[in-house]
Structure 1
Amino acid sequence: MAYAALVSLAQIIDQIIHHNDQYSTFLHSKQQIKCLHDHIIFLQAFLEDFPEKLTNSLEGRIRDTTYEAENIIEYFISEHVRSEYDLKKPCAELKKSLKEMDSITEEVMEIKNSVRSGDVQLISDFSNASSSPRLALAPTVKDIMVGFDDDLMAIKTRLCGESSKLEVVPIFGMGGIGKTTLARNAFEDPLIVEHFQIRAWVTVSQDYTAQAILSGLQVSIEAFHEKHEQRNGSMEEYVYRSLKGRRYLIVMDDMWSTEAWDDVMRVLPNDHNGSRIMLTTRLSNVAVYADSSSPVHEMQFMDANQSWNLLRQKVFKQEQCPRELEDIGRMIARSRRGLPLAIVVIAGLLSTGSKSRASWKNIAKNGSLAVSTHDEHFAKILSLSYIHLPHHLRPCFLYMGGFPEDYQIRVSKLVKLWAVEGFLKPSGSKNCEETAEEYLKDLVKRSLVLVTKRKSNGRIKSCSLHDLLRDMCIKTAQEEKFLQVMNRYVDNILLKSIKKQRRLSIHYVDFFTTIHRSGTVRTMMYFLQDLSSPSFIKGFRLLRILDLVNIFFRYFPTEVLKLHQLRYLALDCDTMIPPSISNLQNLQTLIIHSKRISRSIHHTICLPFEIWKMTQLRHLISFRFFALPNLLGPTSALENLQTLSVVTIFKCTIGVLKMIPNLKKLGICIYSSGFNWENYHLDNLVHLHQLEKFKLVIRGGVYPQNLNLAFPTTLKKLTLDCSLLPYEDMAVFGDLPNLEVLKLRNYACRGPKWETNEGQFPRLKFLLIKDSDLQHWITESSHFPSLQCLVLRSCNKLRKIPDDIGEIPTLELIEVDDQNISLVESAKRIKEEQQSWGNDYLQVRIKNRH
């Protein structure tokens, strides 16, 4: 983690050098600071140019020395803010670190000169292949099962069998063999979707609780089926009522104990209607325990041809494999011993490197070490994949090990965390968040990160790590002093290790009774829901990131206001934010959850006027509602603010918008019963020249008759929730040249007819209309020239999808719900017509609303 440490310290020193007025106390050490900066830039460039030329011990020295220098500087800054500093001690300590950095630089310079003179062999094709950053995103296509056609057919046959009794279909095999992939393909197969009235998926894992499984079933039922039971009574009752009387398919993925089955079986009704339960497990006793009379479907390893076909598809997609690579490729595939996940991982390494025979020979040589068990063999492959990650991607990958097993990591959160960590190095015109998203795409392309959900525009919405990859992340991150996962009691050995770590991920409640202070920890993420007191925070004065979003605070924890280095703060509280929040002048992201309070306009988080003085803010987010204060006096513009959502009692006056000129994402809620909506001046949004995403929610039962809207040409995504805009006014959206996503929810538009015009919606890719009284839709294919996905939900009066919609050459999916039979038939008819013309790309999805 030397590279990550160097990038982080370089950013801090840049701030000091370019903001002399703010860091005037460093004038006494100005020469030392500049000298240290020169060393850091040199070492950073060396790692970028010669990533394989440092020994582990030398890289460890760079990391530790950089961390020590960063500790000194940040502690000095912290003490200066508190007016408790003494110049002599930090200057002396910094001088010691600088001396060690001199020694390291001399040693690295010798290595660099040796490389240039030829005394050290230049970087091999293998190194170049795996360490050069390739940020292009792989094509967005659905994974196709390779080599498991017979398995899929067997599972589908059992799921749709004639037996009316409740049956269990266990899928058994070792980790990485494809159990979940097989289950997922069966679960999403159109035949299965049509056969079952309700489907739900829950991942169990080792650290399961009965409550977590039931909660997962509840969330899955709601996610897959919009019309569901009311949340009355317990979760057990909810799940039972949702399934009762319906033919259902439940998938219990990654089961590790028979107790998990016992805990769930009692809430699954048996109505003798052909319902099925599919489970995946690595343990044969669990597979047999669920239903001893039900045959276990045991996954087999791939044979040589299947392994090669999977490798070839992952590396070359639709292209042909060069003839000179086929024999070495077959050897690489064969060496993975038929384990699909291992093949996918090595394919990720091959696909991002040089497709030359010499490069592939190097990979075959380094990746085919003799091992005694499949687990060890797979661990070798994972280690190889990590070792050959570019230095800039390593901290991003290890960071993901801090999230719990099977955790659905929201990309919007992940990129914000990476952005404030300090280990990203933005390039060109991209900001930190955009750079983070590019890094994530690269990790996905290398098959190290799994995409679990995509947004309507195709971008990644959530992701996760396979548990084996996560295990490797946790082990490596601890060894690198990068991150420590706290999931057990803190003994003396672990306590000693913690004091050297930069980041802590807390999964065990006993942690804060054991350790109360650390000068090295910069990040603390807490994934439990129990905390007796926030007083522990005072012991971690140099924190940059504090994520306590899983802990409910009735009152704002004032202890956080002492953390002057804080850049990211996420809390769950239901009270006003104190004016002293402005003490956190380095804060870039403020996220306030309020999970225990209903999303009502009457439950609004009130921000103080001082929020306008926090010039470093980039993201101000509430998962309920914010109330921004009026501008009462002179203040600075929040020029860095990119996200403001969801805000209410917010009037878009020219004066206010000038204070947030670079906003990219804005969410506004108007409560029409209590306010005059015309005073919101929504036509002034046109002056936000960086705005890309806008969401408008109107609540209160009294809606505007003539909503005056105007948007900048930069807008890419627009969501309207209950605005009742006449369809004849839709031109205000159709004329937006860059609009890609349009979501019209809850009668966002009104009227029986919508007629579009030529030249509108030139770049629109995704259109959602949900809850609408629309009856007649008149359009032509040329009116939506870029449309890829059309979703119509609860459009009960619309009897037909315009035939011309099927003529749109870019259209890939039409989705309708099963409540409107006319629309279902219309969608099927469009698909059949397109198939008759040879268009097999258009898919029709029928959503079950029961």
Structure 2
Amino acid sequence: MQFAMAESVVSFGMHQLSAWFCEEQELLGSIRINTDNIRDEIGRMRAFLMMAEEREDIHPQLREWAKQVRDIAYDAEAVMDKFMLGFAYEHSDRNCGCLGRIYVSVKNLRCRRQFASEVRDLQSRLKSISEGHHRYRDIHSAASQRTSSSGFADGTWYDGRGDALLLEEAEVVGFEKPKRQLIEWLCSSYNYGLRVISVVGTGGLGKTTLARKVYDDAVVKMHFHSHVWMTVSHSFNLEEFLRKLIRKLVGEINQPRPEGLDAMDADEMKEFIYQFLQRRTYVIVLDDVWRLNAWEAIRYAFPRTGAYGFVIITTRFHSIGHGASIECNGHVYNLEPLSQEESKTLFCRKAFLGGSCPTYLEDAAAIVLKKCEGLPLAIVVIGSLLATKNNSIEEWNKFDRSLGDELEGDHLRRMTKLLSLSYYNLPHYLKPCFLYFSIFPENFRIYKSKLIRLWVAEGFIHPKEGKTMEEVAEDHVKELLDRSLIQVAETTNYGRPIRVRVHDLLRMIVLTKSKEQNFVTIESGGETRWPNKSRRVAIHCSTGNTEDIKGCDQLRSLLVLDSVHALSKRNLSKLLCAGSSPLKVLELKGALSDKIPDHVFRLRLLKYLGLKNTVVKTIPKSIAKLRNLETLDLRCTKVTELPIEILKLRRLRHLLLYSNKKSRGYRPFDDVQSFQAPYKIGCLSALQNLSDIEATQAGEDTSIVREIGELTEMRSLGIKKLKKEDGKDLCSSLAKLTNLRSLYVASTAEDEIIDMQYPVYPTPPLETLELRGRLRELPEWLPALHGLTRLYLRWSRMKHDPLNSLQDLPYLMEFELSHAYEGDRLCFRASGFQRLKKLWLLSLNRLRLVIVEKGCMPLLQELYMSGCRSLEEVPSGIQHLGSLQHMDFSDMAEGFVTKIESQREGGDKWNLKSMRKWM
């Protein structure tokens, strides 16, 4: 367990050290560092650790070795930071005499000697550890051969999946519906050819159990000639797999093995399987597929035409399941956790031997079930363990308090291994990203965009050609979701994840690994044991007592995640002073008074500063000292102006300023906060997010809207107080923002016209657009935004029906008209708005008639109408909206609700799951 994180620490810490030495060699003057030797040492250690991390049986000497490696990696990063602080910041700008300044700094003999001494010490420690490598290799080889006590067999880690196959039918709860569905797919199709059914879900959900119940079903046995169960696993060997499959196929019908089977190559064996199955109906289960290339290597062994056959794949990877099934016109079954009722039934069956839960244990049982989150394996294993506690409330409470330790104990070790398999299988670059979830409290749902910014600031993300760091990090989020290690907690209407979380039991495992690796120190209101070297501190619940803070001289991250119990100035200053120099991430959400502590501006390596939901009013000029800052989060603060010194932050990527963004459409026009930005903001060329600044004229020849055109990396932009004469410059700037995904524009006053009738070519790849202000007509380039998914037109007061221009937008899923149309008739024409899911018609005071033609908005799920006081009847043709699930009417004309009720009583049927009527 130690090796998994140790390997990633080496990968990120030591790899950075070596690469950094190469980059900064010219700054070291006469200091000679043999970086090749360092890289060689790192390579040997990484090779060993990558092999050792797959082994669970850890020798004490190996554990100590891993600890030493980890400590060196941490200390190496500290040496790097010390150099940056001691030398690199003695010059103010690399372009203004920087080499001369650095040369003078490095000439300081005492500093040079100290730095050289620390580097030599690192090299010495690396050499000492490397010399012991052959001893550990011997120990590792010996450990691989042990099978009885360690849980290994032939070098393969026993994961306990086979236990699922031993479950009796009576023990399985909640599998009736998925079993029926899979059997229906298997037996109701009469099309010849290959079909793939994928059962996808996280470890412990019962994929193997479900597949076995289907495979053993009598109806399935009768329906197919050949039945083969094959376990694939992550230790996949193509030749061995094909050989075993052939033996099972011919053995089932007592046919002799083909001559020379052991000498056949993979292509010959695939040809034999193909010809054998060509004459038969078959169902083959491929259990526990871990890699897409495993399926790709064997898929052509199964006949695509002629034969009638099914392959059932169980996998934790959504990409594998969907890819295989879509390719073969099959089906994907996403196995869901048990419902609350099913979970309780299964739990009582195991914990109380089929009886009911005693009243005095109901609260304790509810806590356990909440942690299990519908995971059948966890419920069965934990329930069986609790059955030995003799229904003692004291023993149950003790178990709950020590669940993290219990997961490492003998009773729950098999379940822990199963859940940990996905973690051990992670590539090295994903391990610290997943381990980062140990920082957040239980049931914490973190915004994906924030998580990405934190990962980048922590240094977990390495650049890839053609992608920004954020795009690489988003790929990492997708990988963790694909591997079922994290879950989507909230999505947009078009399915894009907004927030993510980790399953409670997986979080327990992550916490254990985090503790082993000294990844984070958590202050949660109780007694906190501060390790000798705290790398990260997360405050979940502040007690105001920080007297025991120690060992923070290497602190890299401080995250205050409790906005209720704000830290006092004294305690915050103490934390910052304890680990001031190397701090890179500082999240103080809701934990500050109206002033940023002066000590923050001494954190010269700081990359992330989060001040959201604080009452900070001003940003001081000393912000210029934070030259490495990449994210400045000022959302929902009192800040209304940015100092010109912020222009010195040339690495700034995310400048987040907006407040109450979600409620823009329901507030008075001028009740939206904006911010004054320096007029030369175009020099911040790395900016990707900028919201919401004022489009105020900065000078005779310079304006903010012109400057925006220099921000070519911009992804999300919000600009307010736009005047009519700014429209031409804004359109010109938009044509340069070829990466822009989200745009919010608001005029300076309710009657001020937004004049955007100027060409924008090429049009940016906008996905979200909000125009807030008067429009004489829609911009001509708007219908060309073919990637647009969300469009909000507010206070537009257009005279002409805008729907004709917008109905063909191919991906539009959310559309709002608020104070936007002064006509009396809207017609949603047939074949228009084919992907729209949410529609708002708000404060359209003159609207008398809404027509919905058949074939329009076939996917619309939610309709909201408010303030349409001239509308006296429900939209004509609403019965055509077959997907409509929710309608909400408020502030409508007198008698509107009465007409609705009379229409429904008169026999009009609407396919609605819910309808609210507010008057």
The TM-score, its normalising length taken from structure 1, stands at: 0.63
Measured in 2, the distance between the counterparts of 1:514 and 1:797 equals 67
What secondary structure does 1:499 align onto? coil
2:120 paired residue number: 95
Secondary structure at the aligned position of 1:6 is classed as helix
2:775 aligned residue: 725
Moved more, 545-554 or 375-384: 375-384
The higher-RCO structure (CA 8 Å, 6+ apart) is 1
1:613 is aligned to: 648
C-alpha distance in structure 1 between counterparts of 2:754 and 2:691, whole Å? 25
Counterpart Cα distance in 2 of 1:415 and 1:517: 28
Unpaired segments of 5 or more residues in structure 2? 91-104, 146-152, 162-168, 187-194, 215-286, 296-310, 318-374, 388-402, 660-673, 698-702, 886-909
**Which of the residues 403, 427, 430 maps onto 1:393?**
430
Aligned to 2:798: 750
Aligned residue among 583, 589, 598 for 1:558: 598
- 2:568 partner SS: coil
Name 1:74's counterpart in structure 2: 81
Equivalent pair of 1:817/1:824 in contact (CA under 8 Å): no
Residue of 711, 714, 720 corresponding to 1:663: 714
Matched, 1:535 2:573: yes
Tell me, yes or no, if structure 1 residue 768 matches structure 2 residue 811.
no
- Give 1:516 deviation, angstroms: 6.0
Distance 1:45 1:805 in 2: 64
Q: Which runs of 5+ in 1 are unaligned?
A: 130-300, 335-348, 598-602, 836-840
Q: Is 1:830 aligned to residue 880 of structure 2?
A: yes
Amino acid in structure 1 at the alignment position of 2:6: A
Q: What is the deviation of 1:61?
A: 3.5
Which residues of 2 match residues 189-208 of structure 1 at below 5 A?
none
Match of 1:52 in 2: 54
In structure 1, the partner of 2:364 is none
How far apart are 1:789 and its partner, in Å? 4.5
> Could you tell me how far 1:451 is from its partner in structure 2?
2.5
Match among 562, 582, 604 for residue 640 of structure 2: 604
DSSP 3-state at the match of 1:543:
coil
CA shift, 1:485, in A, is 1.2
How does 1:599-678 map onto structure 2 within 5 Å? 604-608=640-644, 610-624=645-659, 625-631=674-680, 637-649=683-695, 656-657=707-708, 659-670=710-721, 677=726
Distance 1:503 1:392, change over 3 A: farther
Q: Which residue of 1 aligns with 2:70?
A: 63
Instruction: Provide the secondary structure at the position in 2 that maps to 1:451.
Output: strand
**Residue 459 (structure 2) aligns with:** 422
Q: Distance in 1 between matches of 2:136 and 2:550?
A: 42
Q: Which residue of 2 aligns with 1:581?
A: 623
The amino acid of 2:687's aligned partner reads L
Of 583, 586, 600 in structure 2, the residue corresponding to residue 546 of structure 1 is 586
- 1: CA distance, partners of 2:315 / 2:480: 23
In structure 2, the residue matched to 1:329 is 209
Q: Secondary structure at the match of 2:589?
A: strand
Using a 3 Å threshold, how does the CA distance of structure 1 residues 14 and 644 change in structure 2: closer, same or farther?
farther
Tell me if the contact between 1:813 and 1:842 (Cα under 8 Å) persists in the aligned partners. Answer: no
Query: SS where residue 513 of structure 2 aligns?
Result: helix
Supply the distance in 1 between the matched residues of 2:792 and 2:51 (Cα, whole angstroms): 46
Deviation, structure 1 residue 42? 6.0
SS where residue 550 of structure 1 aligns? coil
Between the aligned partners of 2:733 and 2:23, the Cα distance in structure 1 is 34
Q: What one-letter code is carried by the residue in structure 2 that aligns with 1:306?
A: G
Structure 1 residues 812 and 758, CA gap change in structure 2 (3 angstroms):
closer
2: CA distance, partners of 1:438 / 1:43: 28
1:9-47 CA distances to partner (integer Å, 9 max, x unpaired)?
357447735754xx7543545634454345446655776
Cα shift at 1:569: 0.7
Residue among 578, 595, 607 paired with 1:567: 607
- Please list, as runs of the form range in 1=range in 2, the aligned pairs for 1:471-510 lying within 5 A after superposition: 471-490=508-527, 494-495=529-530, 497=531, 499-510=533-544
Q: Aligned equivalents of 2:181 and 2:36: distance in 1?
A: 51
CA 1:676 to 1:706, structure 2 compared with 1: closer, same or farther past 3 Å? closer
Aligned to 1:413: 450
Q: Which residue of 1 aligns with 2:278?
A: none
Deviation at 1:563, TM superposition (A): 0.9
> Corresponding residue for 2:863?
815
After TM superposition, the structure 1 = structure 2 runs for residues 25-36 of structure 1, keeping only pairs within 5 Å, are 25-29=27-31, 31-36=33-38
Q: Aligned pair in 2 of structure 1 residues 91, 781: CA closer, same or farther (>3 Å)?
A: farther
1:306 aligned residue = 174
Q: After TM superposition, give the deviation of residue 567 of structure 1 in Å.
A: 0.8
Larger radius of gyration: 2
TM-score w.r.t. the length of structure 2 is 0.59
Q: Specify the alignment match of 2:282 in structure 1.
A: none
Task: Give the partner amino acid of 1:578.
Answer: P
Retained in 1: the 8 A contact 2:679–2:704? no
Q: Residues 14, 103 of structure 1: CA spacing in aligned structure 2 closer, same or farther, 3 A cutoff?
A: closer
* Deviation of 1:510 (Å): 3.0
Deviations 1:615-651 (Å, cap 9, x if unpaired)? 211111113443221239xxx9433221111212456
In the TM superposition, what is the alpha-carbon distance from 1:739 to its structure 2 partner? Answer: 2.4
What SS does the aligned partner of 2:591 have? strand
Q: Does 1:696 align with 2:742?
A: no
Could you tell me how far apart the structure 2 residues matched to 1:86 and 1:39 are? Answer: 27
Distance 1:730 1:555, change over 3 A: same
Code of the aligned partner of 1:372: L
What is the identity percentage for the equivalent residue pairs of Structure 1 and Structure 2?
21
Counterparts in 2 of 1:421 and 1:842: CA distance versus 1, 3 Å:
farther
Q: Distance in 1 between matches of 2:917 and 2:36?
A: 64
Q: Are the equivalent residues in 1 in contact too, given 2:787–2:810 (CA < 8 A)?
A: yes
Partners in 2 of 1:333 and 1:317 — Cα distance? Answer: 15
849 and 471 in structure 1: CA distance in 2 versus 1, 3 angstrom threshold: farther
Distance 2:726 2:600 in 1: 37
Hey, what does 2:329 align to over in structure 1? none
Name the structure 1 match of 2:415: 381
Greater displacement, 762-771 / 536-545: 762-771
Q: In structure 2, what is the equivalent of residue 278 of structure 1?
A: none
Alpha-carbon spacing, 1:649–1:759, altered in 2? closer, same or farther (3 Å): closer
Query: Are residues 1:2 and 2:6 paired?
Result: yes
Between the aligned partners of 1:314 and 1:640, the Cα distance in structure 2 is: 51
Aligned-pair RMSD on alpha carbons?
5.0
Contact 2:619 2:643 in 1 (8 A): yes
Q: Which moved more, 1:643-652 or 1:676-685?
A: 676-685
Deviation at 1:481, TM superposition (A): 0.7
Cα offsets for 1:341-399 (capped at 9, x unmatched): xxxxxxxx9576679999989999x9998962387677853553235321433322332
Distance 1:823 1:509, change over 3 A: farther
Count of residue correspondences: 640
Indicate how the Cα distance of structure 1 residues 11 and 594 shifts in structure 2: closer, same or farther if over 3 A, else same: farther
SS in 1 for 2:652: coil
Structure 1 residues 704 and 361, CA gap change in structure 2 (3 angstroms): closer
Distance in 1 between residues matched to 2:138 and 2:502, nearest whole Å: 40
Note if contact 2:420-2:509 (Cα within 8 Å) is conserved in structure 1.
Answer: no
How many Å separate the matches in 1 of 2:883 and 2:807?
A: 26
1:486 to partner: Cα distance: 0.7
Shift of 1:564: 1.3
1:317 and 1:422 mapped to 2: Cα distance?
Answer: 47
Task: Provide the C-alpha distance between the structure 1 equivalents of 2:709 and 2:585, rounded to a whole number of angstroms.
Answer: 29
CA 1:707 to 1:807, structure 2 compared with 1: closer, same or farther past 3 Å? closer
CA distance in 2, matches of 1:737, 1:618: 27
Q: CA deviation at 1:587?
A: 1.2
* Distance verdict in 2 for CA 1:469–1:37, change over 3 Å: same
Q: Match of 2:264?
A: none
Q: Distance in 1 between matches of 2:803 and 2:810?
A: 16
Q: Structure 1 residues 620-629 or 580-589, which shifts more?
A: 620-629
Matched residue SS, 1:507: coil
Report SS of the residue matched to 1:606.
coil
